[in-house]
Structure 1
Amino acid sequence: MGKRTRTDPAKVGTMLLSRGTGIGMIVVLIMLGIRAPLFFDLNNIMNVLKQGSVLTMIAIGLTAVLIGGGFDMGAGALVQLTCNLAAGMIIAGAGAVFALTAGITAGLAVGLINAFLVIIVKIPTFVATLGTMFVMQGITSWYNDGKALTIKVIPGFAMLGQGRIAVIPVIFVIVIVMCFILNYFFKHTMTGLRMYAAGENPAAAKLKGLNTRKYLLYSYVLSGGILGFTGVLQCSYNYGASAVTSGMDFLIQALSAAYLGSTFSKTGELSMIGTVISGMFIAALSNALIINGISNQQISGVLGIILILSILLTVIKKREIGQVTIF
């Protein structure tokens, strides 16, 4: 008789941690789809990709600052601000190019302000970005006077958020292109790798001579630019800007996507590809739950659970390598 192979529980646990996320996502969506076959309809799938693209772009911007060792409570508020700014400029007749430029510029400016408060003034990241979040919400309310800003259909501008290439939404294509550009930047360029190093272990990075403050600055500015651009995409997608404050909802979903995406890595490392997969999963999950008759209030609870579980999994993985810092 052959020797019976003994299963190592530790190895099984490691495999489940590294592969369980993807398997779990697939199983959950299949189960919900079986209960509501409409979920698997091609038009619905394309709508999920379209609806989830703004959320995923916010998660990409948030991931960029998290990789560099920062944190941004105002990510959703910045998107809403630049969305309103873009809508106001389109209504005023400034044109799509000016709206796009203004949105990205405003995002870069907010990124610089956050970096200044955290790096120079040395305010804790949570407090500094919470403060700028409230400021941005106030500016947004003043700018739109508490009213929704509806724009006319401008073909070139509408193409960003509403257009399709065959059946695939243009906004989803933008997300994929952005994902691969940033993934290459962080994984294959010296600056990107140093941002990872500075964010993962600042003390070790300093010992190696890295200027961690510089790379934290880069992360805030890069994130701000991405979020500013996302606000313009949202304006195109919504044909304007809503007066309803949704920044905190965006933040919770984007954080869930970023940390859930990190569970794809054996070491709990943040990644753009993981973030995009998780962002689209959250969009698909919300869609499937709605089709199954779940209310928006209950969906918020589900997203909160996802955030807690994803951070818990990240902490477990980081403990295995002797690093437990999340924020």
Structure 2
Amino acid sequence: MSDSGYGMNWLTDYVRPKLNSLFSRRDMPENLWRKCDNCGQMIFHRELSEALHVCSNCNHHMQISPRERFNALFDGGAWIETPLADAPADPLKFRDQKRYPDRIREARANTGEHEAMLVARGEISGLTTVAACQNFAFLAGSMGMAVGDALLAAADAAVAAKAPLVVFCAAGGARMQEGILSLMQMPRTTIAAQTVAEAGLPFVTVLTNPTTGGVTASYAMLGDVQIAEPGALICFAGPRVIEQTIGEKLPEGFQRSEYLHEHGMLDRVTHRHAMRDELAVILRMLMRAPRRITGDLPAPEAQAADAARAG
């Protein structure tokens, strides 16, 4: 056997199989990369998490879990979860391709959450704040009795703490498996918003992609200030349904946050990376709280005391 033949056998019989085993798909963790829903860019999981699930290539804002959002929202990532009561299970004994309890169990297993909304209390730039956040990964964030109960609990917590309430909306609408009971959450959540208003406290909504159906038709559009993330679909009926109904092509970007802001339905369109600072400014203004002093300088009272002692 010639040296070249030996070298070729060594490459094909040893080196190539070794490389294939190192980079084999089955050896790669499935959650190591995430594909952007908008541009298809593959993003390293850790980088995506650090970027708060915003695509570095096209700036697309992907869905984010309530816990990840709260970690980024509250000072130092410190917050206290508000306990929520269990809503009646399967009140209509609903069944389509699956039984409703089976869908709930599957959603809980996939998300690790008990329901589609989480409520927490923490501080934003030193200001005590109550926040509620919908989880689109849990049955498309659909609004059933549990979500209605969660928002009422959030309103009560805000009033008790004399704190503003911020609600992050992300929903496909009402939960069809609860029928008319899910539609009744529209007036119930409206009452929650009114409870906060009657206490003289700010109610701010942040509309994320997507916010649709009965959520848009109730508390999502009742904020004292309404903010949206870039590119979010915000509507009651979706664009495809409207086009089929009226038989016309809709304008470019119709029902996206930038279009709604341009036409006066939203107050702000804010990038997720700037959301915490934006909310800090807005909430302090609405609460008439003094601007927070940051830095290493001593507090004004300490300065006065030092001057008095020196005199």
TM-score range for the pair, normalised by the shorter chain length: under 0.3
Query: Which entry has the higher C-alpha Rg, 1 or 2?
Result: 2
TM-score by length of 1: 0.24
TM-score by length of 2: 0.25
Greater strand fraction, Structure 1 or Structure 2:
2
Instruction: With a CA cutoff of 8 Å and minimum separation of 6, indicate the structure with the bigger relative contact order.
Output: 1
